[in-house]
């Protein structure tokens, strides 16, 4: 019944009409779908509306002459189409992926991953009532900051602490509390943009303060800061240039020197250290990264950092420092708008518990564990993944290649660690095609292409992911090789 040669409008109409008559009834499709156990969880309303949508599309296609085979109108075929659509509609958008990029803190892939204890703690906090703002001791209202304040004080040596939504929020809160209407002195080498529209000069304008820039892009000396101090100076600000590296003829003022200047002039020093490394954990590539403990020791009045970078916890902005400034930040109305939720606090408390002991932190916090693993361990993991994948298909060519591991997330720019990847070459499937197939797998794999080879970097892949990668590889081969 294909409309190969159409001689007159009469023929078309007749064929269209007979096709239209062949469209099954909603109930007929419904009765097929209701027998299918895979769609038990879907309500009758949703089934009916999916069926109607498919039937409407078929009707439109027939009327436009785009459908001319009655085979496409078989009830079983339409039911299968409805089922695929219902499954597609049930898909979630925020789903786990396997990180085969070798970038440990990948901002697009959610930065730090939680320890299992921290993730469980967030789950518990979400599934039950909690002591979020309740004091069990007094039976009265408590503070949401208390859950982590003592831990942060204990670990960093600070007098007080509070937590907000993220570090960008922390910086905003600090500046609008401490330096509104006043001048804040900052080095021209630290006027950074930290992703998106977060630029230090713009934030200062938002907060009603005035930025007093000193020094040059590559060199700023302590005398530049002291010459800029005046009666309207509200603070000295140091921002860690976490996402770029200035090399060559450079000079900057270290935090100890800046704190001495601040103290001598009774001006508070604010330090945005970005990454949230709480103290030196002895990982080689982090040796030049500023840490919170050292900054507090140097005498910094207020330090701010992220929860989901090197701290290895949930997204959060943490502020530690002198009690009078933290108290002022807590009572700023903006604090209410930037406040952190209970799932985050639960995960953060658990992560901070691990940080009380270096060896526990290195073992339990995935970010630190990944960065702490050595080249030999990484090589062995890549060899094990290669072995697991080699069972799948004789035509797949697998190799273990050297492939850098990076910290990422705007931390430690330029530093790479020795890492290893498994390269996967399949005759008849280009690296781009394989990349595409993996990105569309049930648990997507995000690898990368280097020198025309598809690579899965093993520094950021877990043993538990091996079976998933293997099954998704065999699916990709089945679909594309046959
Ligand atoms: C990452 C970073 C920020 C922003 O932190 P978020 O937690 O992403 O809001 C601010 N300052 C510095 C120095 C950073 O490295």
Pocket around ligand 1: residues whose beta carbon is below 6 Å from it?
166-168, 194, 239-240, 242, 272, 274-275, 306, 317, 410
Dist. CA 32 → ligand 1 center (Å): 54
- Range 35-67 burial, b when 16+ CB lie within 10 A, else e: eeeebeebeeeebbebbeebbeebeeebeeeeb
Q: Which atom of ligand 1 is least distant from the CA of 411?
A: 15
Closest residue by Cα to atom 13, ligand 1, is: 274
> Looking at residues 122-129, what average pLDDT do you find?
98
Dist. CA 194 → ligand 1 center (Å): 6
- Report the pLDDT value the prediction gives residue 414, as an integer from 0 to 100: 72
Dist. CA 269 → ligand 1 center (Å): 18
Dist. CA 306 → ligand 1 center (Å): 6
- Separation of CA 314 from chain center: 9
- Dihedral, CA of residue 57, residue 58, residue 61 and residue 63, to nearest 10: -110
- Report the pLDDT value the prediction gives residue 69, as an integer from 0 to 100: 86
Q: How many CB atoms lie within 10 A of CB 282?
A: 10
Q: Which atom of ligand 1 is least distant from the CA of 275?
A: 15
- Report the pLDDT value the prediction gives residue 13, as an integer from 0 to 100: 55
Closest residue by Cα to atom 11, ligand 1, is: 274
- Mean pLDDT is lowest, of 156-170, 218-232, 409-423, 465-479, for 409-423
Closest residue by Cα to atom 12, ligand 1, is: 274
- Report the pLDDT value the prediction gives residue 90, as an integer from 0 to 100: 84
Closest residue by Cα to atom 15, ligand 1, is: 274
- Report the pLDDT value the prediction gives residue 196, as an integer from 0 to 100: 62
- Report the pLDDT value the prediction gives residue 222, as an integer from 0 to 100: 95
Structure pTM? 0.89
Dist. CA 414 → ligand 1 center (Å): 18
pLDDT at 4 exceeding the cut of 60: no
Dist. CA 16 → ligand 1 center (Å): 62
pLDDT at 302 exceeding the cut of 80: yes
Using pLDDT thresholds of 50, 70 and 90, give the confidence band for residue 7.
very low
Dist. CA 319 → ligand 1 center (Å): 12
**Per-residue pLDDT tens for 34-80?**
888 777 778 889 899 999 999 999 999 999 999 888 889 999 999 99
Q: Which atom of ligand 1 is least distant from the CA of 242?
A: 15
Substitution site in 186, 190, 274, 310 for ligand 1 pocket (most atoms within 8 Å of beta carbon): 274
Is residue 326 within 8 Å of residue 292, measured between CB atoms?
Answer: no
pLDDT at 191 exceeding the cut of 90: no
Dist. CA 443 → ligand 1 center (Å): 29
């Amino acid at each position: 019944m294909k409309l190969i040669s159409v001689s007159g409008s009469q023929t078309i109409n007749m064929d269209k009409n007979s096709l239209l008559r062949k469209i099954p009834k909603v109930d007929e499709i419904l009765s097929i779908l209701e027998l299918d156990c895979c769609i038990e969880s879907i309500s009758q309303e949703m089934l009916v509306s999916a069926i109607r949508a498919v039937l409407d599309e078929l009707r439109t296609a027939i009327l436009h002459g785009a459908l001319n085979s009655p085979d496409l109108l078989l009830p079983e075929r339409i039911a299968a189409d409805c089922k695929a659509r219902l499954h597609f509609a049930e898909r979630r958008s925020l789903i786990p992926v396997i990180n085969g990029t070798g970038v440990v803190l990948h901002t697009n892939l959610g930065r730090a991953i939680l320890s299992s204890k921290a993730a469980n703690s967030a789950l518990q906090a979400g599934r039950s009532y909690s002591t979020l703002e309740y004091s069990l001791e007094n039976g009265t209202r408590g503070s949401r900051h208390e859950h982590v304040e003592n831990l942060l004080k204990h670990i960093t040596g600070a007098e007080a602490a509070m937590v907000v939504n993220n570090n960008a929020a922390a910086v905003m809160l600090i500046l609008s509390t401490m330096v509104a209407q006043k001048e804040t002195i900052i080095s021209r080498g630290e006027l950074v943009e930290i992703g998106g529209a977060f630029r230090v000069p713009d934030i200062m304008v938002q907060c009603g303060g005035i930025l007093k820039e000193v020094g040059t892009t590559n060199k700023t000396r302590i005398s530049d800061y002291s010459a800029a101090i005046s009666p309207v100076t509200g603070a000295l600000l140091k921002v860690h240039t976490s996402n770029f590296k200035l090399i060559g003829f450079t000079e900057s003022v270290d935090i100890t020197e800046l704190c001495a200047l601040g103290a001598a002039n009774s001006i508070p020093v604010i330090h945005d250290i970005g990454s949230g490394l709480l103290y030196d954990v002895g990982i080689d590539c982090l040796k030049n990264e500023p840490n919170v403990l050292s900054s507090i020791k140097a005498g910094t009045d207020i330090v701010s950092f992220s929860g989901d970078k090197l701290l290895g916890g949930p997204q959060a902005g943490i502020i530690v420092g002198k009690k009078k400034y933290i108290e002022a930040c807590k009572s700023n109305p903006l604090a209410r708008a930037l406040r952190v939720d209970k799932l985050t606090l639960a995960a953060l408390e658990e992560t901070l518990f691990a940080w009380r002991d270096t060896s526990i932190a290195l073992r339990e916090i995935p970010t630190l564990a990944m960065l702490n693993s050595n080249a030999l361990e990484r090589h062995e993991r890549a060899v094990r993944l290669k072995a697991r994948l080699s069972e799948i298909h004789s035509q797949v060519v697998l190799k273990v290649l050297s492939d850098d591991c990076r910290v990422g997330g705007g931390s430690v720019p330029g530093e790479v660690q020795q890492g290893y990847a498994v390269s996967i070459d399949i005759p008849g499937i280009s690296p781009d095609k394989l990349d595409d197939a993996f990105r569309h797998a049930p648990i997507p794999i995000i690898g990368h292409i280097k020198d025309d080879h598809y690579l899965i970097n093993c520094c950021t892949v877990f043993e538990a992911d091996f079976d998933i990668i293997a099954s998704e590889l065999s699916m990709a081969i089945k679909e594309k090789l046959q």
